[in-house]
Amino acid sequence: MTAGQVSDYTGAAALLGSLPAADWLIADRGYDADWFRDALKDKGIRPCIPGRKSRGKAIRYDKRRYKRRNRIEIMFGRLKDWRRIATRYDRCPKVFLSAIALAATVMFWL
């Protein structure tokens, strides 16, 4: 978990070593960096990340697969309906993660 002012690159660099085995990684333009794409390819993961608008050369990505990213965005929106999660009431990461797990479980059952 990073602060709101921290760039996406910082979080990506921290999580890169602990990524599970996967075929694809779908991310938004905030993660568009050549070093990140190369690191994913070294791990055998194909990146589905559109290029930034300021990038000179266009990057190819699977547009159909990227459109399915909205399901994840909807899930985060539903989690933020819970005031405790949206305001980050719990400062301890373990307690915060358990609150997210509890909210996700309740949402799944409803």
DSSP string, 16-69: GGGPPP-SEEE--GGG--HHHHHHHHHTT-EEE-PPPTT-SSPPP--HHHHHTT
Average pLDDT over residues 82-99: 87
Q: Per-residue pLDDT tens for 30-47? A: 888 889 999 999 999 999
Cα–Cα distances (Å) from 75 to 1, 39, 51, 80, 86, in that order, read 17, 27, 24, 9, 13
Quote the CA–CA distance of 55 and 22 in Å, as a whole number.
Answer: 27
Average pLDDT over residues 16-23: 87
DSSP SS3 for 7 = coil
pLDDT at position 110 over 80: no
